[in-house]
Structure 1
Amino acid sequence: MSYRIYLVEDDKNLNLVLTTYLEKEGWIITSFLTGKEAQSQILNPPDLWILDIMLPDIDGYQLIREIKYKSPDVPVIFISARDADIDRVVGLELGSDDYLPKPFLPRELVIRVRNLLDRFNRDQQIIYSLPPYAINTDSRIVSLNDKIIDLTSKEYDLLNYLLNNLGVALSREQILNNIWGNDYFGSDRVVDDLIRRLRKKMPKLDLETVYGYGYRVNKK
């Protein structure tokens, strides 16, 4: 499954190394070097945060408070080179779901991320109803009258992102960054093409064009 992960680590070299390891698992990684960069994306939650405590501007404690306030069900892994015992305790009190002291092997982080995603995915499996469609968020299966609709991975990611922001107008740039990642280079017209394909496969979906801006799925 193409989980979206936000990595907040101010050390450029470590950030690059961890991003490389995580992307090899097929996950979509958005990395940040400062707390303010990460803070700007809190309203567009990923499937998991990896959060360094020591940052050059906003510390990880403040960020996790805001993250858990806005998205309490999104798991967070704290990483830190400071006093391990204190950071572990404070992190747990603030809602972190795992803690990894530096230095650590990148492969250990990958294993912890996978285990945490698997656990949260099992715990939070739901059948989402958006009449006349039913969406199983665990298996990523969309159906209509018990007949499965064959969506590609990108089509499902788009649908899931729209449903997570039901009734909210999303710009092409927001959709592009969340589905393809911030490192994508190319025209934002790929968003329009993906929308067109999703509409063709799910014609009863109330997917509205917000002219000059983007798209939104309306509540029935």
Structure 2
Amino acid sequence: MGFRIYLVEDDNNLNLVLTTYLKKEGWQVTSFLTGKDAKNAIKNTPDLWILDIMLPDIDGYQLIKEIKLTSPKVPVIFISARDADIDRVLGLELGSDDYLAKPFLPRELVIRTRNLLERVYGLNNEVLDIPPYTIEERSRRVKSKGELIDLTSKEFDLLLYFAKNQGIALSREQILETIWGVDYFGTDRVVDDLVRRLRKKMSHLRIETIYGYGYRMIENDK
């Protein structure tokens, strides 16, 4: 679920931090430490690239040329610790959509990424209406009377699963497989905990407990 983002950053610690922040938004993040590994993945065509310009082998300039040859419309964010003006101009000439100079706060990268994704893919942002809530699927945002509701990635995934299956009884096993994946090993009680957290944050949702089986979301009154 969510957008697929490829992050190329050779500093292992920064790579881990940025990956963690991006994943919290519900995006599917694949990270690379070298330009060579990133180049081999260009054919997979993610929804967005985040490229560090300074890499130990193939630099970001070479990578963006390869990316644009394969997928000219895929957005790219450049990040760099070098001269900001030079890198920004060169990046724009090569097709980058945004630029972020190091050092920066990880949250700033998240905001830049979200804004760029919405600008490029906004027309495909399906909106589900569950009064008093609206769910923006692609941008993964939930609002109530115009105010954003802060959900974790798993909470949003569960909400979306319920919203698309209103009135249908969903077993814990079905929810586990959909939200955690078929390879998940652990107790199905994590489902109960996730439902409890969702109910607490969105008290107007009508989620019924089906004892011994699972849950069902009932359509809210308009």
Normalised by the length of structure 1, the TM-score is 0.57
Give yes or no for the alignment of 1:79 onto 2:83: no
What RMSD, in angstroms, separates the aligned Cα atoms of the two structures?
A: 2.5
Match of 2:96 in 1: 96
Distance 2:57 2:183 in 1: 31
Match of 1:110 in 2: 110
Q: Which amino acid aligns with 2:79?
A: I
Match of 1:59 in 2: 59
State the 1:35 CA deviation.
Answer: 0.2
Which has more radius of gyration?
A: 2
Flag structure 1 segments of 5+ consecutive residues without an equivalent. 127-137, 141-152, 154-183, 188-220
Distance 2:84 2:118 in 1: 25
1:139/1:106 Cα in 2 relative to 1: closer, same or farther (>3 Å)?
closer
- The SS at the match of 1:86 is helix
Distance 1:66 1:186 in 2: 34
Distance 1:27 1:59 in 2: 25
Runs of 4+ residues over 6 Å off in structure 1? none
Match of 1:29 in 2: 29
Match of 2:70 in 1: 70
Distance 1:139 1:24 in 2: 15
State the 1:43 CA deviation.
Answer: 0.5
State the 1:44 CA deviation.
Answer: 0.4
Flag structure 2 segments of 5+ consecutive residues without an equivalent. 126-135, 139-156, 158-180, 185-222
Match of 1:121 in 2: 121
Distance 2:112 2:55 in 1: 22
Q: Percent identity?
A: 75
Give the number of equivalent residue pairs: 134
Normalised by the length of structure 2, the TM-score is 0.56
1:99/1:185 Cα in 2 relative to 1: closer, same or farther (>3 Å)?
farther
